Structures are given as C-alpha cells and as structure tokens.
Structure 1
Amino acid sequence: MCLYCRGDETTQVNPEGPKLHHPSDVTRRQSTAKRVQRMQIVMKQKRKLNKRFARPAPLPEPGILWTS
C-alpha cells in the first residue's frame, strides 16, 4: 500500500515480507511442543489410573458390618 506524496515519490506503509499463507499455519517447533505437551498429559493420566486400579479395594469379611 502506498501513500500519495508530491511528485512521483511514494511512501511504502506496509512492506511486503514473508507471510504465512494461512493464519492457522503453525511452525514445526510449535507443533512439536504441542505434541510433547499432549503426551505429558496422557502419561500423567495413565499414571493416575495405574495407581487407582493397581490393587482393588479389599473386600470386607463376611459378618463384619460397619454401623455408624
């Protein structure tokens, strides 16, 4: 985009430079970081579930009733 000035001189307002084709394009580093972050979340959830289901809750002995 050029602004009109005296004579044949023009002033360039927005220089043309390398642009991404689409705003949704991401760099390789960004996509790698996102993938690593997702894997860390999955591993954290897996550890949590492994702890929860590692040993089943003990069954109460028959004849013992808990009363409040």
Structure 2
Amino acid sequence: MELIPGNSLITATPEEGRKLALDMALHSIYAIQPDENVLKAGRDVYSTDPEELIASSQVVAIEFATIAAANNYWR
C-alpha cells in the first residue's frame, strides 16, 4: 500500500495539497484497518457522531499542515 501517493509531499497549489492530505488520511485509515467489512461496519457510528467527525477532520488538518510546511507554504 502506498501511504504517500506519488511518494512526494510537493504539490503545485494548496488545493492539490488539500487533496493529497485527504488521500493520505484515507490511505492511513485503510492501513490501520485493512478489513473493509469492519471498516464499513463502523461508518454508522462515526458518520453521525460530531466528535468522531471532528477527530477525522483533525487528522486531515495535521496531514495538510505537514504538506504545507513541505511546500514552504506555497511561497
């Protein structure tokens, strides 16, 4: 499994960086829980729980911050 798509954190734009952050978060989730049936079974819980959704957003935000730093904040 490729945890960093394209094996690079460098992106041309913040929009591409945001997409990469989402992709990286998804790849991490699948790496942690590779059983798709178990993964899907949990969706009913986390998809309706505001705290779970906020926690998911925090993971993406951390990934995006890492990508932004790697790209010198697109300066």
**Bin for the TM-score computed over the shorter chain:** 0.3 to 0.5
TM-score by length of 1: 0.33
> Comparing both chains, which one has the higher relative contact order based on Cα–Cα distances under 8 Å and sequence gaps of 6 or more?
2
Richer in helix (by share): 2
TM-score by length of 2: 0.30
Richer in strand (by share): 1
